[in-house]
A and B are shown apart, each in its own frame.
Chain A
Amino acid sequence: MVKAGVFLLARLHPALGGTDLWFWLVSGTGAVTLLYSAATALFRHDIKGLLAYSTISHLGLITLLFGLDTRLSIVAGVFHIINHAIFKASLFMAAGVIDHECGTRDMRRVNGMFKRMPITGSLAIIAAASMAGVPLMNGFLSKEMFFAETVGHPQFEAISWLLPVVATIAGVLAVAYSLRFVHDVFFNGEPIDLPRQPHEPPRWMRAPIELLVLLCLLVGVFPQLTVAPLLKVAAAATLQGPLPAFELALWHGFNRPLMMSLLALAGGVFLYALRAPLFAWQAQLPTMHPRTAFERAYRVLANAARRGVALLDNGSLQRYNALLIGFVLVLGSWAFFSGEKASIRIAVQAADEAAYLALFALLLGSVGATLLYRKRLLAVLLVGVVGLVVAMIFIRLSAPDLALTQLAVETGTIVLMLLVLYYLPARTAPGSSASRLVRDVLLALFAGGGLMLVTLQMLATPFQTISGFYLQESVPGGGGTNVVNVILVDFRGFDTLGEISVLVIVALASHALLDRLTLIAPRYDSDGRAWAREAHPLFLSMLMRLLPALALTVSVYILLRGHNLPGGGFVAGLITSVALVVQYLANGNAFAHRRMPGNPAALLALGLALATGVGMASWLFDRPFLTTAHGHVSLPLIGEFELASAMIFDLGVYLVVVTVVVTVLSGLGLLSERAHKHEVAG
């Protein structure tokens, strides 16, 4: 399993290697693992424990090699994977044999095995020598390469001595624990109190060890004849490129890596000689199980996190909102003030009286609604004024499509707000505390002032629009002269498809929220007056019955002309839905509900299916999704006009918009019906 991790590291190297992050993370992790595990291995008394920690240490070595990230170090890493597999497998099998024969693996009791099983002992000694990196063994070759790579690595400039020192210390430790394995198990006096009488294992238990140890020697002595082809294939696959020049040989001359090897051998022997005081020192160290450390750290972190969350999260949405806005303001100011210093240039197009008047009306509406928000009906009307001014701004500034949409949406919004008002408690809420008021006013002023400055700055900055393409291609490519509509249904049709999907989700979510919702509709207004007895005045009711036919005609007109003149699916849908929603107001729920198309979910699905279907139809002509086609059609009476497949897409948009608006608003209206029934029943 651990080797699988190293394998993954090798495979990911071509994708992730070659960066500073890779170098420091991977080689750092490798170096720490290498040293820590080698030191731990020395102090284990269980044979398998020693071998296991040594494996971790060797994997750290391989990781370090991958981290060093010179091309040759990767080759060395792959080579060491092969060598380590060979000698460590034989050592683990030898440990298994000893365990089988002695009934224990404790090195304080298993001693003097060489006399009792000389063949297994010899094999294990050779394998352990390979683990220690003694010449003539395969482990020596890759360890030499490792040492060579640590010397003069380009990444360490001032501290280039550090890496060879780490490598040599690791080598010393490896020699020491290998020596311990050999000396403690096979020599070091007589066994102590073994459960069994050990002798040589059966022939076939030893055979795999013999094979592997033979490999250790063959690779170690004749690397070019044995392992070279395999190594070349494996290293080339890891590097995903040409191999660096390298030579597998026993003797590279008397160079630095060899000196490091000799130093490691001598140091390892010396360290092992000091084992008695070392073990005594280790035994008196306070034992701290890693799990305890982990759990303690985990608890500290979890507590800190809990305190941090409690600081921010007290369950108040108001507070979240204020924090969110405050944070956005901090980030925005940081970006605004850390950017290039530029004095605010003001672009000026002459403003006429109408513009001043519009601004005045807008200020009146928005500030009025803000100050008088407790007088709810008045506030709704004032917000309506603002919406109308916004629509006028759109007309004035060359955006007729936006103006139409805004007007239609404004009507829907007012109906929506009135419906909501009908159910909300009539009593006036007491005012906010002074401190909260100050906080909110500050946040509001800061936000408004900031956005005003940003807008000013943006409007004064010269810019290059990317819309040239759309303006150029609208007629020849999209078959429509209304560029905004062509963008919506053709160039950026995929976006629009996503947007109507959002609307469908709104309708479904609203439907789910309204399901079995009961609210007590008030019988009286806030001053205790009963509602007008004549809920559906005759004039309104009769006039409004004419409206849907008229509105549908207008909608079809707006829908069809949308490709060339202001209009389109969104606007047409809003006009139709407003006409339908008005029926609820004018003629009552029962009347209107009977006349509405049966199944809104089916209509929503139909709308989405039309939009998606016309998009997929382009696949039939080997074109990408949502490619449109257009052409001229001439019909008697109507004359010649342009038809584009995008119009079907727009029809889908239309259906979705109508159904969403009608579902949401009529759903709210029908609540009262239910509420009254509820009241009567209750």
Chain B
Amino acid sequence: MEVLLSIAIGVLTACGVFLILRARTFPVLLGLTLLSYAVNLFLFASGRLRVDAPPLIRAGASYADPLPQALVLTAIVIGFGMTAYLAILALRGLSESGADHVDTDQDE
């Protein structure tokens, strides 16, 4: 399980980094989304992986670490806020400059 999750985080990061280095705004948006998945999973994994142990208090149960979960929950929502802001910034850029390039430098 741990190996699989590590691979998942690694692949998401690699894809995210590659996409945010592209020259057009849309792939950057995609890359940011992928990168935030990777980061959220990484933070989540810092509480270690537990199966069938949700942090809901019941008699005689064991629990997964609730703290990283609480942190990641807000991170997901904030991540959405950031993606939305970036999207609107991209559109504003398109309207001001007439192009969806991230730079004035037009080298692809």
Residue of B nearest to A395 (CB): B54
The listed residue (B22, B33, B51) touching A398 by CB distance below 8 A is B51
Number of interface residues of A (CB under 8 A): 117
A417 B94 Cβ-Cβ under 8 A:
no
B38 shortest CB reach to chain A, Å: 7
Does A642 have its Cβ within 8 Å of any Cβ on chain B? no
Q: Give the distance in Å from the alpha carbon of A495 to the alpha carbon of B73 in the complex.
A: 12
Does A230 have its Cβ within 8 Å of any Cβ on chain B? no
Chain A neighbourhood of B55, CB < 8 A: 398, 471, 482-484
The listed residue (B6, B21, B50, B74) touching A440 by CB distance below 8 A is B21
Q: Mark B1-41, 1 if CB is under 8 A from A, else 0.
A: 11111111111111101111111111101100110011011
A459 B45 Cβ-Cβ under 8 A:
yes
Chain A neighbourhood of B95, CB < 8 A: 517-519
B11 A367 Cβ-Cβ under 8 A:
yes
Chain A neighbourhood of B10, CB < 8 A: 448-449, 451-452, 455
The listed residue (B7, B14, B84) touching A445 by CB distance below 8 A is B14
Chain B neighbourhood of A417, CB < 8 A: 29-30, 87
A502 B84 Cβ-Cβ under 8 A:
no
The listed residue (A351, A405, A448, A474) touching B13 by CB distance below 8 A is A448
B77 A657 Cβ-Cβ under 8 A:
yes
A502 B81 Cβ-Cβ under 8 A:
yes
Q: Give the distance in Å from the alpha carbon of A361 to the alpha carbon of B50 in the complex.
A: 21
A431 B108 Cβ-Cβ under 8 A:
yes
Does A499 have its Cβ within 8 Å of any Cβ on chain B? yes
> Do A519 and B100 form a contact, CB below 8 Å, given A351-B1, A398-B55, A448-B10?
no
B39 shortest CB reach to chain A, Å: 9
B87 A399 Cβ-Cβ under 8 A:
no
Chain B neighbourhood of A346, CB < 8 A: 2-3
Residue of B nearest to A488 (CB): B70
A469 shortest CB reach to chain B, Å: 10
Residue of B nearest to A511 (CB): B88
Q: Give the distance in Å from the alpha carbon of A483 to the alpha carbon of B63 in the complex.
A: 10
Number of interface residues of B (CB under 8 A): 86
> Do A456 and B80 form a contact, CB below 8 Å, given A373-B19, A482-B56, A566-B54?
no
Chain B neighbourhood of A453, CB < 8 A: 6
B8 shortest CB reach to chain A, Å: 5
Q: Give the distance in Å from the alpha carbon of A665 to the alpha carbon of B24 in the complex.
A: 21
A387 B57 Cβ-Cβ under 8 A:
no
B64 A502 Cβ-Cβ under 8 A:
no
Q: Give the distance in Å from the alpha carbon of A402 to the alpha carbon of B108 in the complex.
A: 38
Chain A residues 423-470 with CB under 8 Å of chain B are 423-425, 429-433, 436, 440-441, 443-445, 447-449, 451-453, 455-456, 458-460, 463, 465-467, 470
Chain B neighbourhood of A370, CB < 8 A: 15, 18-19, 34
The listed residue (B24, B29, B105) touching A316 by CB distance below 8 A is B105
B2 A399 Cβ-Cβ under 8 A:
no
Q: Give the distance in Å from the alpha carbon of A552 to the alpha carbon of B37 in the complex.
A: 28
Chain A neighbourhood of B13, CB < 8 A: 444, 447-448, 451-452
B87 A484 Cβ-Cβ under 8 A:
no
Does A29 have its Cβ within 8 Å of any Cβ on chain B? no
A373 B27 Cβ-Cβ under 8 A:
yes
Q: Give the distance in Å from the alpha carbon of A315 to the alpha carbon of B107 in the complex.
A: 12
A383 B24 Cβ-Cβ under 8 A:
no
> Do A348 and B3 form a contact, CB below 8 Å, given A416-B84, A420-B87?
yes
Chain A neighbourhood of B54, CB < 8 A: 398-400, 566
The listed residue (A366, A425, A443) touching B15 by CB distance below 8 A is A366
Chain B neighbourhood of A458, CB < 8 A: 45-46
A503 B77 Cβ-Cβ under 8 A:
yes
Q: Give the distance in Å from the alpha carbon of A425 to the alpha carbon of B29 in the complex.
A: 15
Does A386 have its Cβ within 8 Å of any Cβ on chain B? yes
Q: Give the distance in Å from the alpha carbon of A355 to the alpha carbon of B58 in the complex.
A: 27
Q: Give the distance in Å from the alpha carbon of A351 to the alpha carbon of B7 in the complex.
A: 13
B14 A447 Cβ-Cβ under 8 A:
yes
A401 B69 Cβ-Cβ under 8 A:
yes
B90 A420 Cβ-Cβ under 8 A:
yes
Known: A358-B4, A459-B2, A519-B95. 9 other contacts (CB 8 A): A315-B105, A370-B15, A383-B33, A387-B37, A412-B80, A419-B87, A429-B24, A444-B14, A451-B42
Residues of A at under 8 Å CB distance from B? 314-318, 321-322, 325, 346-351, 355-356, 358-359, 362-363, 366-367, 369-370, 373, 376, 379-380, 383, 386-387, 390, 393-394, 396-402, 405-406, 409, 412-413, 416-417, 419-421, 423-425, 429-433, 436, 440-441, 443-445, 447-449, 451-453, 455-456, 458-460, 463, 465-467, 470-471, 474-475, 481-484, 487-488, 492, 495-496, 499, 502-503, 506, 509-510, 513-514, 517-519, 564-566, 570, 574, 657, 660-661, 664-665, 667-668, 671
Instruction: Please name 17 pairs of A and B residues whose Cβ atoms are closer than 8 Å in the assembled complex, sorted by A.
Output: A321-B20, A351-B3, A359-B7, A366-B12, A369-B30, A402-B73, A413-B33, A420-B91, A440-B21, A444-B18, A451-B13, A459-B49, A465-B67, A483-B57, A514-B88, A514-B92, A574-B77
Identify the 7 closest CB pairs spanning chains A and B, nearest first: A448-B14, A452-B10, A444-B18, A398-B64, A483-B66, A487-B70, A481-B57
